[in-house]
Amino acid sequence: MKHTLLWSALLLSISLSAAEKNFKPIFNGKDLTGWTQKGGKAKYAVKDGTIIGTAVHGTPNSFLCTEKIYGNFILEYEYHCDNRLNSGVQIRSNVFNQKTAVKIGDGKTRTIPAGRVHGYQVEIDPNKPDRMWSGGIYDEARRGWLYPGLRGGNAAAFTKAGQKTYQPEKWNKVRVECRGDSIKTWLNGTPRADFKDTLTARGFIGLQVHGIGGNPSLAGAKICWRNLHIRELK
């Protein structure tokens, strides 16, 4: 029996090691090499293997973005957010050097200002407990809510599940899978968004510190990220 348990533990260790090798860190745990800030002027810093974003009064949404572009991938990360804030993680997102009109479907176009980060955002939603759409997908600066919203999902049911899944004042783990036109998310192991969309196939990953508008009392509030890993898919 003892040998059987040891062998099982060894097999599990080998399996986990193989899985870990398929994922690569996108944050080195020391500094912000490989990342660049776009949009607003929120503060980003690194401490104890964690990226810390700090809200600043009088500035729009800020994004710390990977310099590398990703298409098909599995992304995993953890975040810890001040319950007064709204935030998110951009995936397959982009920015234009000049004002650009883009087609957003159904014959509609939207003009994206120069320097404006736009694209899919995996929501972090603690400041709206009556909604609680953390793990949902918002289309930043383009179409608004996709899931729940334009691409499906029942808003009330999504909120109820989110209230059970989100862990206030604790670290929360997210998994995101982008394969072709399929986008799926999980929050603390629980499925969240699951839909198809073809508007954007590639882009950077970005960590958002949301603007705090006319509420200076939120200046200094923080959101933190750690254990950011990605597995690129063919």
Instruction: Give the pLDDT confidence of 69-127 residue by residue, as tens digits.
Output: 999 999 999 999 999 999 999 999 999 999 999 999 999 999 999 999 999 999 999 99
b/e code 183-204 from CB counts within 10 Å (16+ = b): bbbbbbeeebbbbebebbeebb
- 65 vs 117: CA distance, rounded Å: 9
Q: What is the pTM of this model?
A: 0.90
The answer to whether 199 and 29 have CB atoms below 8 angstroms apart is no
The yes-or-no verdict on residue 4 having pLDDT over 70 is no
CATH 2.60.120.560 fits 25-232, yes or no: yes
CA–CA gap between residue 96 and residue 115 (Å, rounded):
6
- 153 touches 159 (CB < 8 A): no
Q: In this predicted structure, what is the pLDDT of residue 3? A: 54
Averaged pLDDT of the chain: 92
Average of pLDDT values for 155-171?
A: 96
Tell me what pLDDT residue 129 has: 87
Pairing label, strands 62-66, 35-39:
antiparallel
Distance between CA atoms of residues 168 and 175, nearest Å: 18
User: Which pair of tokens denotes residue 93?
Assistant: 């997102």
Q: Strands 108-112, 100-105: parallel, antiparallel or unpaired by DSSP?
A: antiparallel
Confidence of residue 17 (pLDDT cuts 50, 70, 90): very low
**With bands split at pLDDT 50, 70 and 90, how would you rate the model's confidence at 13?**
very low
Q: How far apart are CA 202 and CA 209, in angstroms?
A: 22
What digits encode the pLDDT tens for the residues 196-228? Answer: 999 999 999 999 999 998 788 999 999 999 999
- CA quadruple 46, 51, 54, 58: dihedral, nearest 10: 100
* Separation of CA 61 from chain center: 14
The predicted pLDDT at position 234 comes to: 84
Select the more confidently predicted residue: 20 or 231.
Answer: 231
